[in-house]
Structure 1
Amino acid sequence: MHLNGVVFDALAAGDLAAANAASPVPLSAYFAGPDWRSVWRMRSEQVAEDPASADWVTGVIWDEDRELAVGRAGYHGPPDAAGMVEIGYAVDPAHRRRGYARAALEFLLRRAADEPDVRTVRVTISPDNEASYRLAAGYGFVEVGKQWDEEDGLEIIYEVAGEGVRPGLHTTEELVGEPPTTPEETSRAASSGTRYQSVTPPRRPCDLLPSRHAPPAPGADPGGRIVRESPVKQGDSKRDAGTANSSP
Protein backbone atom coordinates (compact mmCIF):
# COMPACT_ATOMS: atom_id res chain seq x y z
CA MET A 1 0.00 0.00 0.00
CA HIS A 2 1.59 3.24 -1.17
CA LEU A 3 2.43 6.18 1.08
CA ASN A 4 2.88 9.79 0.04
CA GLY A 5 5.40 12.49 0.79
CA VAL A 6 3.37 13.93 3.66
CA VAL A 7 3.41 10.58 5.45
CA PHE A 8 7.12 10.11 4.79
CA ASP A 9 7.82 13.58 6.20
CA ALA A 10 5.82 12.87 9.35
CA LEU A 11 7.38 9.45 9.95
CA ALA A 12 10.85 10.90 9.39
CA ALA A 13 10.07 13.39 12.16
CA GLY A 14 8.67 10.68 14.43
CA ASP A 15 5.21 12.28 14.37
CA LEU A 16 2.78 9.35 14.36
CA ALA A 17 -0.33 11.51 14.68
CA ALA A 18 0.57 13.56 11.61
CA ALA A 19 1.47 10.42 9.68
CA ASN A 20 -1.85 8.76 10.47
CA ALA A 21 -3.74 11.88 9.48
CA ALA A 22 -2.42 11.44 5.92
CA SER A 23 -1.94 7.67 5.74
CA PRO A 24 -4.47 5.47 3.88
CA VAL A 25 -4.34 3.01 6.79
CA PRO A 26 -3.57 3.41 10.50
CA LEU A 27 0.08 2.94 11.34
CA SER A 28 1.45 1.62 14.62
CA ALA A 29 3.92 3.40 16.87
CA TYR A 30 6.70 1.18 15.53
CA PHE A 31 6.47 2.90 12.14
CA ALA A 32 7.38 6.23 13.72
CA GLY A 33 9.98 4.76 16.05
CA PRO A 34 13.76 5.09 15.80
CA ASP A 35 14.41 1.78 14.03
CA TRP A 36 12.87 2.87 10.72
CA ARG A 37 13.34 6.62 10.93
CA SER A 38 16.36 6.74 8.63
CA VAL A 39 14.35 4.88 5.99
CA TRP A 40 11.53 7.40 6.10
CA ARG A 41 14.00 10.26 5.99
CA MET A 42 15.51 8.90 2.78
CA ARG A 43 12.07 8.31 1.29
CA SER A 44 10.98 11.81 2.19
CA GLU A 45 13.95 13.29 0.33
CA GLN A 46 13.48 10.96 -2.63
CA VAL A 47 9.80 11.70 -3.15
CA ALA A 48 10.38 15.43 -2.76
CA GLU A 49 12.92 15.24 -5.59
CA ASP A 50 10.93 12.78 -7.73
CA PRO A 51 7.21 12.62 -6.81
CA ALA A 52 6.60 9.76 -9.27
CA SER A 53 8.91 7.51 -7.26
CA ALA A 54 6.23 7.29 -4.55
CA ASP A 55 4.59 4.58 -6.66
CA TRP A 56 7.71 2.42 -6.29
CA VAL A 57 9.28 3.08 -2.93
CA THR A 58 8.58 1.72 0.54
CA GLY A 59 4.93 1.24 1.39
CA VAL A 60 2.90 -0.54 4.05
CA ILE A 61 2.42 -4.28 4.41
CA TRP A 62 -1.25 -4.33 5.39
CA ASP A 63 -3.09 -7.37 6.70
CA GLU A 64 -6.71 -6.93 5.65
CA ASP A 65 -7.95 -9.79 7.83
CA ARG A 66 -6.41 -8.38 10.99
CA GLU A 67 -6.70 -4.75 9.85
CA LEU A 68 -3.12 -4.10 10.88
CA ALA A 69 -0.07 -2.45 9.37
CA VAL A 70 2.54 -5.14 10.02
CA GLY A 71 5.60 -3.94 8.12
CA ARG A 72 7.03 -2.08 5.18
CA ALA A 73 8.08 -3.19 1.71
CA GLY A 74 8.91 -1.72 -1.67
CA TYR A 75 11.57 -0.94 -4.20
CA HIS A 76 14.45 1.48 -3.83
CA GLY A 77 13.08 3.35 -6.80
CA PRO A 78 11.92 2.94 -10.41
CA PRO A 79 13.99 0.71 -12.73
CA ASP A 80 17.43 2.09 -13.52
CA ALA A 81 18.88 2.42 -17.03
CA ALA A 82 19.71 -1.29 -17.10
CA GLY A 83 16.22 -2.28 -15.99
CA MET A 84 17.25 -3.21 -12.45
CA VAL A 85 15.10 -2.66 -9.38
CA GLU A 86 16.21 -3.32 -5.84
CA ILE A 87 13.73 -4.55 -3.25
CA GLY A 88 13.56 -4.39 0.51
CA TYR A 89 11.14 -5.33 3.24
CA ALA A 90 10.94 -5.49 7.03
CA VAL A 91 8.31 -6.69 9.47
CA ASP A 92 7.37 -5.13 12.80
CA PRO A 93 8.85 -7.43 15.51
CA ALA A 94 5.38 -7.84 17.02
CA HIS A 95 4.17 -9.54 13.83
CA ARG A 96 7.06 -11.73 12.76
CA ARG A 97 6.94 -15.47 12.04
CA ARG A 98 3.55 -15.17 10.33
CA GLY A 99 4.66 -15.37 6.69
CA TYR A 100 4.58 -11.64 5.98
CA ALA A 101 8.15 -11.46 4.66
CA ARG A 102 7.47 -14.21 2.12
CA ALA A 103 4.18 -12.57 1.09
CA ALA A 104 5.92 -9.22 0.60
CA LEU A 105 8.69 -10.79 -1.49
CA GLU A 106 6.16 -12.59 -3.70
CA PHE A 107 4.18 -9.40 -4.21
CA LEU A 108 7.28 -7.42 -5.20
CA LEU A 109 8.43 -10.14 -7.60
CA ARG A 110 5.00 -10.35 -9.22
CA ARG A 111 4.87 -6.63 -9.82
CA ALA A 112 8.41 -6.64 -11.21
CA ALA A 113 7.42 -9.44 -13.61
CA ASP A 114 4.48 -7.34 -14.83
CA GLU A 115 6.57 -4.21 -15.42
CA PRO A 116 7.96 -4.15 -19.00
CA ASP A 117 10.95 -2.01 -18.01
CA VAL A 118 12.18 -4.39 -15.30
CA ARG A 119 14.85 -6.88 -16.37
CA THR A 120 16.54 -7.72 -13.08
CA VAL A 121 15.48 -7.76 -9.43
CA ARG A 122 18.14 -7.25 -6.77
CA VAL A 123 18.22 -7.75 -3.02
CA THR A 124 21.12 -7.32 -0.61
CA ILE A 125 21.43 -9.43 2.54
CA SER A 126 23.86 -9.43 5.46
CA PRO A 127 26.12 -12.51 5.43
CA ASP A 128 24.82 -13.66 8.82
CA ASN A 129 21.14 -13.46 7.82
CA GLU A 130 20.84 -17.11 6.79
CA ALA A 131 17.03 -17.15 6.96
CA SER A 132 16.70 -14.26 4.52
CA TYR A 133 19.23 -15.92 2.22
CA ARG A 134 17.22 -19.14 2.20
CA LEU A 135 14.03 -17.26 1.41
CA ALA A 136 15.62 -15.39 -1.51
CA ALA A 137 17.35 -18.52 -2.86
CA GLY A 138 13.99 -20.25 -3.02
CA TYR A 139 12.91 -17.70 -5.64
CA GLY A 140 15.99 -18.07 -7.84
CA PHE A 141 18.18 -15.27 -6.45
CA VAL A 142 21.91 -15.94 -6.85
CA GLU A 143 24.94 -14.09 -5.54
CA VAL A 144 26.51 -11.67 -8.01
CA GLY A 145 28.77 -9.60 -5.77
CA LYS A 146 29.38 -7.87 -2.45
CA GLN A 147 29.23 -4.31 -1.23
CA TRP A 148 29.95 -2.31 1.90
CA ASP A 149 27.08 -0.28 3.30
CA GLU A 150 27.86 2.60 5.66
CA GLU A 151 25.04 1.65 8.01
CA ASP A 152 24.78 -2.14 7.64
CA GLY A 153 28.36 -3.16 6.86
CA LEU A 154 29.12 -6.01 4.45
CA GLU A 155 26.21 -7.08 2.26
CA ILE A 156 25.89 -9.84 -0.32
CA ILE A 157 24.21 -8.81 -3.57
CA TYR A 158 21.71 -11.28 -5.03
CA GLU A 159 19.83 -10.97 -8.31
CA VAL A 160 17.21 -12.81 -10.31
CA ALA A 161 16.01 -12.12 -13.83
CA GLY A 162 12.56 -10.70 -14.41
CA GLU A 163 9.83 -12.96 -15.79
CA GLY A 164 10.52 -13.97 -19.38
CA VAL A 165 13.82 -12.05 -19.54
CA ARG A 166 17.04 -13.79 -20.47
CA PRO A 167 18.75 -14.66 -17.19
CA GLY A 168 22.27 -13.66 -18.25
CA LEU A 169 21.57 -9.95 -18.54
CA HIS A 170 24.46 -8.85 -16.34
CA THR A 171 26.74 -11.88 -16.76
CA THR A 172 28.76 -13.75 -19.36
CA GLU A 173 26.84 -17.02 -19.43
CA GLU A 174 23.20 -18.02 -19.54
CA LEU A 175 21.91 -21.08 -17.76
CA VAL A 176 18.33 -21.84 -16.85
CA GLY A 177 18.10 -24.41 -14.10
CA GLU A 178 17.56 -25.04 -10.43
CA PRO A 179 19.08 -22.23 -8.34
CA PRO A 180 21.93 -22.96 -5.92
CA THR A 181 20.84 -23.84 -2.40
CA THR A 182 23.91 -23.02 -0.31
CA PRO A 183 26.18 -19.96 0.04
CA GLU A 184 29.04 -22.04 -1.40
CA GLU A 185 27.05 -22.83 -4.54
CA THR A 186 26.03 -19.21 -5.04
CA SER A 187 29.66 -18.13 -4.67
CA ARG A 188 30.73 -20.59 -7.35
CA ALA A 189 27.95 -19.39 -9.64
CA ALA A 190 28.97 -15.76 -9.14
CA SER A 191 32.69 -16.40 -9.71
CA SER A 192 31.98 -18.32 -12.93
CA GLY A 193 29.70 -15.60 -14.27
CA THR A 194 26.74 -17.96 -14.38
CA ARG A 195 23.21 -16.74 -13.77
CA TYR A 196 20.32 -19.01 -12.94
CA GLN A 197 16.62 -18.57 -13.35
CA SER A 198 14.43 -20.76 -11.21
CA VAL A 199 12.41 -23.22 -13.25
CA THR A 200 10.02 -23.64 -10.32
CA PRO A 201 7.41 -20.90 -9.85
CA PRO A 202 6.49 -19.65 -6.37
CA ARG A 203 4.79 -22.35 -4.36
CA ARG A 204 1.41 -20.69 -4.41
CA PRO A 205 -0.29 -17.56 -5.65
CA CYS A 206 -0.10 -15.09 -2.82
CA ASP A 207 -1.86 -11.91 -1.94
CA LEU A 208 0.22 -9.10 -0.56
CA LEU A 209 -0.59 -10.43 2.88
CA PRO A 210 -1.41 -13.93 4.06
CA SER A 211 -4.57 -14.78 5.93
CA ARG A 212 -4.22 -14.83 9.68
CA HIS A 213 -5.64 -18.34 9.55
CA ALA A 214 -2.97 -19.68 7.20
CA PRO A 215 0.16 -20.83 9.06
CA PRO A 216 3.46 -20.00 7.34
CA ALA A 217 5.29 -22.79 5.59
CA PRO A 218 8.19 -24.30 7.57
CA GLY A 219 11.16 -21.96 7.32
CA ALA A 220 9.16 -19.61 5.12
CA ASP A 221 9.64 -16.41 7.04
CA PRO A 222 13.05 -14.97 7.89
CA GLY A 223 11.65 -13.62 11.14
CA GLY A 224 10.82 -10.34 9.52
CA ARG A 225 14.43 -9.24 9.62
CA ILE A 226 15.39 -6.39 7.38
CA VAL A 227 16.72 -7.65 4.10
CA ARG A 228 18.18 -4.30 3.31
CA GLU A 229 17.30 -0.67 3.64
CA SER A 230 20.23 1.33 2.47
CA PRO A 231 20.99 4.93 1.55
CA VAL A 232 22.84 3.79 -1.57
CA LYS A 233 21.24 4.49 -4.93
CA GLN A 234 20.67 1.75 -7.43
CA GLY A 235 23.88 1.49 -9.40
CA ASP A 236 25.40 4.48 -7.64
CA SER A 237 27.83 4.82 -4.75
CA LYS A 238 26.43 8.18 -3.74
CA ARG A 239 23.81 8.67 -1.05
CA ASP A 240 20.37 7.98 -2.43
CA ALA A 241 18.11 10.96 -2.67
CA GLY A 242 15.42 9.16 -0.74
CA THR A 243 15.49 5.44 -1.35
CA ALA A 244 15.99 2.77 1.21
CA ASN A 245 16.44 -0.92 1.49
CA SER A 246 13.72 -2.89 3.12
CA SER A 247 14.58 -4.74 2.99
CA PRO A 248 12.28 -3.82 0.40
Structure 2
Amino acid sequence: MSLPVPPDGPWKSARAPRHSVHPIPLPLFEAFEAGDLERASSIAPSSLPPLTPFLVSEANRGLWGRRLALVVGDAEHLPWLSRLVVYEPERDLEVETSHIKRSKAVIVGRIGFHGKPDERGMVEVGYEIDSQQRRSGHAKAAMRIMVDVARLIPGVNVLRASVVPEYWISRRVVESEGLRKVGTEVSSRHGLQDVFEIDVSN
Protein backbone atom coordinates (compact mmCIF):
# COMPACT_ATOMS: atom_id res chain seq x y z
CA MET A 1 0.00 0.00 0.00
CA SER A 2 1.34 3.43 -0.94
CA LEU A 3 1.93 6.02 1.76
CA PRO A 4 -0.83 8.64 2.15
CA VAL A 5 0.21 12.11 1.07
CA PRO A 6 -1.00 15.25 2.88
CA PRO A 7 -2.31 18.23 0.89
CA ASP A 8 0.17 20.76 -0.49
CA GLY A 9 0.31 24.39 0.52
CA PRO A 10 -1.19 26.05 3.59
CA TRP A 11 -3.87 24.04 5.38
CA LYS A 12 -7.15 25.77 6.18
CA SER A 13 -10.57 24.97 7.58
CA ALA A 14 -13.93 26.70 7.30
CA ARG A 15 -14.16 26.15 11.05
CA ALA A 16 -11.13 28.41 11.60
CA PRO A 17 -11.46 31.10 8.92
CA ARG A 18 -8.85 33.45 10.39
CA HIS A 19 -6.14 30.82 10.76
CA SER A 20 -3.95 28.83 8.39
CA VAL A 21 -1.17 26.32 8.87
CA HIS A 22 1.87 26.81 6.62
CA PRO A 23 4.53 24.25 5.63
CA ILE A 24 8.16 24.79 6.57
CA PRO A 25 10.63 24.19 3.70
CA LEU A 26 13.67 22.13 4.63
CA PRO A 27 16.15 25.08 4.46
CA LEU A 28 13.90 26.99 6.86
CA PHE A 29 13.91 24.03 9.27
CA GLU A 30 17.70 24.13 9.15
CA ALA A 31 17.87 27.87 9.81
CA PHE A 32 15.46 27.53 12.75
CA GLU A 33 17.50 24.65 14.20
CA ALA A 34 20.65 26.78 13.92
CA GLY A 35 18.92 29.63 15.74
CA ASP A 36 19.58 31.94 12.81
CA LEU A 37 16.50 34.16 12.67
CA GLU A 38 18.13 36.56 10.21
CA ARG A 39 18.86 33.82 7.69
CA ALA A 40 15.45 32.25 8.27
CA SER A 41 13.78 35.59 7.53
CA SER A 42 15.79 35.97 4.32
CA ILE A 43 14.69 32.61 2.91
CA ALA A 44 11.15 32.36 4.30
CA PRO A 45 8.34 32.14 1.73
CA SER A 46 6.85 35.53 0.94
CA SER A 47 3.43 34.21 1.97
CA LEU A 48 4.54 34.15 5.62
CA PRO A 49 4.27 37.09 8.04
CA PRO A 50 7.48 38.27 9.73
CA LEU A 51 9.24 35.51 11.66
CA THR A 52 9.51 35.90 15.43
CA PRO A 53 12.08 34.98 18.12
CA PHE A 54 9.65 32.31 19.35
CA LEU A 55 10.69 30.18 16.39
CA VAL A 56 14.34 30.05 17.44
CA SER A 57 13.81 29.63 21.18
CA GLU A 58 15.93 26.97 22.86
CA ALA A 59 12.98 24.60 23.18
CA ASN A 60 11.95 25.01 19.56
CA ARG A 61 15.51 24.61 18.32
CA GLY A 62 15.52 21.21 20.01
CA LEU A 63 12.27 20.33 18.27
CA TRP A 64 13.57 21.42 14.86
CA GLY A 65 16.64 19.27 15.43
CA ARG A 66 14.55 16.20 16.22
CA ARG A 67 12.37 16.77 13.17
CA LEU A 68 15.41 17.19 10.92
CA ALA A 69 16.80 13.91 12.23
CA LEU A 70 13.57 12.22 11.17
CA VAL A 71 13.86 13.64 7.66
CA VAL A 72 17.50 12.57 7.37
CA GLY A 73 16.40 9.03 8.21
CA ASP A 74 13.33 9.10 5.96
CA ALA A 75 12.45 12.04 3.69
CA GLU A 76 8.81 10.91 3.54
CA HIS A 77 8.31 12.46 6.99
CA LEU A 78 8.86 16.05 5.79
CA PRO A 79 5.36 17.00 4.52
CA TRP A 80 3.82 15.74 7.77
CA LEU A 81 5.98 17.68 10.18
CA SER A 82 5.63 20.94 12.09
CA ARG A 83 3.99 23.91 10.39
CA LEU A 84 3.58 27.56 11.30
CA VAL A 85 0.23 28.75 12.62
CA VAL A 86 -0.72 32.07 11.05
CA TYR A 87 -3.53 34.29 12.30
CA GLU A 88 -4.99 37.15 10.29
CA PRO A 89 -7.54 39.31 12.12
CA GLU A 90 -10.29 41.10 10.25
CA ARG A 91 -9.05 44.16 8.45
CA ASP A 92 -10.16 47.56 9.69
CA LEU A 93 -12.01 48.86 6.64
CA GLU A 94 -12.13 52.36 8.12
CA VAL A 95 -8.36 52.73 7.86
CA GLU A 96 -7.76 50.61 4.76
CA THR A 97 -8.29 52.03 1.30
CA SER A 98 -7.77 50.60 -2.16
CA HIS A 99 -4.31 52.20 -2.12
CA ILE A 100 -3.19 51.15 1.36
CA LYS A 101 -3.22 47.50 2.36
CA ARG A 102 -2.25 46.72 5.92
CA SER A 103 -1.50 43.07 6.57
CA LYS A 104 -1.82 42.27 10.24
CA ALA A 105 -1.14 38.57 9.85
CA VAL A 106 1.10 37.16 12.55
CA ILE A 107 2.73 33.82 13.34
CA VAL A 108 1.19 32.69 16.62
CA GLY A 109 2.70 29.23 17.02
CA ARG A 110 3.52 25.90 15.44
CA ILE A 111 1.56 22.70 14.97
CA GLY A 112 2.12 19.51 13.04
CA PHE A 113 2.26 15.76 13.05
CA HIS A 114 5.13 13.92 14.69
CA GLY A 115 5.80 12.07 11.47
CA LYS A 116 4.18 10.08 8.69
CA PRO A 117 1.36 7.62 9.54
CA ASP A 118 2.24 4.36 11.26
CA GLU A 119 1.05 0.91 10.19
CA ARG A 120 -2.50 1.48 11.46
CA GLY A 121 -2.80 4.88 9.82
CA MET A 122 -2.23 6.83 13.02
CA VAL A 123 -0.72 10.31 13.07
CA GLU A 124 0.08 12.19 16.28
CA VAL A 125 -0.36 15.93 16.52
CA GLY A 126 1.65 18.30 18.69
CA TYR A 127 1.62 22.06 19.01
CA GLU A 128 2.93 25.08 20.87
CA ILE A 129 1.54 28.60 20.89
CA ASP A 130 3.86 31.56 21.39
CA SER A 131 3.61 32.66 25.04
CA GLN A 132 2.71 36.17 23.86
CA GLN A 133 -0.24 34.84 21.85
CA ARG A 134 -1.87 32.42 24.28
CA ARG A 135 -5.42 32.44 25.64
CA SER A 136 -6.75 33.83 22.38
CA GLY A 137 -8.21 30.66 20.83
CA HIS A 138 -5.27 30.00 18.52
CA ALA A 139 -4.65 26.44 19.76
CA LYS A 140 -8.27 25.42 19.27
CA ALA A 141 -8.34 26.94 15.80
CA ALA A 142 -5.12 25.19 14.78
CA MET A 143 -6.40 21.89 16.15
CA ARG A 144 -9.60 22.25 14.13
CA ILE A 145 -7.50 22.60 11.00
CA MET A 146 -5.45 19.51 11.82
CA VAL A 147 -8.52 17.38 12.52
CA ASP A 148 -10.18 18.48 9.29
CA VAL A 149 -7.02 17.87 7.25
CA ALA A 150 -6.55 14.42 8.81
CA ARG A 151 -10.10 13.51 7.78
CA LEU A 152 -9.31 14.44 4.17
CA ILE A 153 -6.26 12.20 3.76
CA PRO A 154 -7.07 8.67 2.55
CA GLY A 155 -5.29 6.11 4.69
CA VAL A 156 -5.16 8.27 7.81
CA ASN A 157 -7.44 6.55 10.30
CA VAL A 158 -6.55 7.82 13.77
CA LEU A 159 -5.47 11.19 15.13
CA ARG A 160 -3.60 11.06 18.44
CA ALA A 161 -2.44 13.66 20.95
CA SER A 162 -0.39 13.03 24.09
CA VAL A 163 -0.87 15.47 26.98
CA VAL A 164 0.93 15.80 30.30
CA PRO A 165 -1.84 15.44 32.95
CA GLU A 166 -1.07 18.83 34.50
CA TYR A 167 -1.56 20.62 31.16
CA TRP A 168 -5.31 20.99 31.57
CA ILE A 169 -5.58 23.71 28.91
CA SER A 170 -4.09 21.37 26.29
CA ARG A 171 -6.47 18.66 27.46
CA ARG A 172 -9.41 20.98 26.87
CA VAL A 173 -8.10 21.81 23.41
CA VAL A 174 -7.90 18.18 22.26
CA GLU A 175 -11.15 17.18 23.94
CA SER A 176 -12.94 20.08 22.24
CA GLU A 177 -12.21 18.33 18.94
CA GLY A 178 -13.60 15.00 20.06
CA LEU A 179 -10.38 13.25 21.09
CA ARG A 180 -10.93 10.94 24.04
CA LYS A 181 -8.48 9.42 26.48
CA VAL A 182 -7.53 5.87 25.52
CA GLY A 183 -4.61 5.25 27.88
CA THR A 184 -1.32 6.56 29.20
CA GLU A 185 2.32 6.38 28.16
CA VAL A 186 5.68 7.37 29.61
CA SER A 187 7.73 9.69 27.42
CA SER A 188 11.50 9.92 27.81
CA ARG A 189 11.18 13.71 27.49
CA HIS A 190 7.87 14.53 29.17
CA GLY A 191 7.28 11.68 31.61
CA LEU A 192 3.73 10.42 32.16
CA GLN A 193 1.27 11.48 29.47
CA ASP A 194 -2.40 10.86 28.83
CA VAL A 195 -3.07 9.59 25.30
CA PHE A 196 -6.10 10.89 23.40
CA GLU A 197 -7.38 9.62 20.06
CA ILE A 198 -10.17 10.14 17.55
CA ASP A 199 -11.21 8.08 14.53
CA VAL A 200 -10.75 10.20 11.40
CA SER A 201 -11.13 7.45 8.80
CA ASN A 202 -13.30 8.10 5.75
- Asked if 1:60 corresponds to 2:84, the answer is yes
- Asked if 1:39 corresponds to 2:63, the answer is yes
Partner residue, 2:72: 48
For the residue of structure 2 that corresponds to 1:116, the secondary structure is: coil
Q: Which has the higher contact order (CA 8 A, sep 6+)?
A: 1
Residue type of the partner of 2:41?
N
Distance (Å, rounded) in 2 between the aligned partners of 1:46 and 1:83:
18
What 5-or-longer segments of structure 1 have no aligned partner? Answer: 165-248
Quote the offset at 1:36 in angstroms. 1.1
Partner residue, 1:158: 196
Quote the offset at 1:64 in angstroms. 3.1
Taking the TM superposition and a 5 Å limit, the aligned residue runs for 1:40-119 are 40-65=64-89, 66-119=104-157
Distance (Å, rounded) in 2 between the aligned partners of 1:141 and 1:162:
10
Quote the offset at 1:11 in angstroms. 1.1
Aligned partner (choices 154, 168, 191) of residue 130 of structure 1: 168
Quote the offset at 1:44 in angstroms. 1.6
Residue type of the partner of 2:162?
T
Partner residue, 2:34: 13
Q: Aligned residue pairs: how many?
A: 164
Percent of pairs with identical residues: 31
Residue type of the partner of 2:192?
L
Distance (Å, rounded) in 1 between the aligned partners of 2:161 and 2:192:
13
Aligned partner (choices 43, 53, 60) of residue 29 of structure 1: 53
For the residue of structure 2 that corresponds to 1:69, the secondary structure is: strand
Contact kept in structure 1, 2:154 and 2:201, CA below 8 Å = no
For the residue of structure 1 that corresponds to 2:160, the secondary structure is: strand
Distance (Å, rounded) in 1 between the aligned partners of 2:190 and 2:44:
29
Contact kept in structure 1, 2:122 and 2:157, CA below 8 Å = yes
Distance (Å, rounded) in 2 between the aligned partners of 1:76 and 1:119:
15
Distance (Å, rounded) in 2 between the aligned partners of 1:72 and 1:135:
15
Distance (Å, rounded) in 1 between the aligned partners of 2:32 and 2:43:
11
Q: TM-score, normalised by structure 1?
A: 0.63
For the residue of structure 2 that corresponds to 1:19, the secondary structure is: helix
For the residue of structure 1 that corresponds to 2:72, the secondary structure is: helix
For the residue of structure 1 that corresponds to 2:116, the secondary structure is: coil
Residue type of the partner of 1:37?
R
Quote the offset at 1:163 in angstroms. 4.6
For the residue of structure 1 that corresponds to 2:132, the secondary structure is: helix
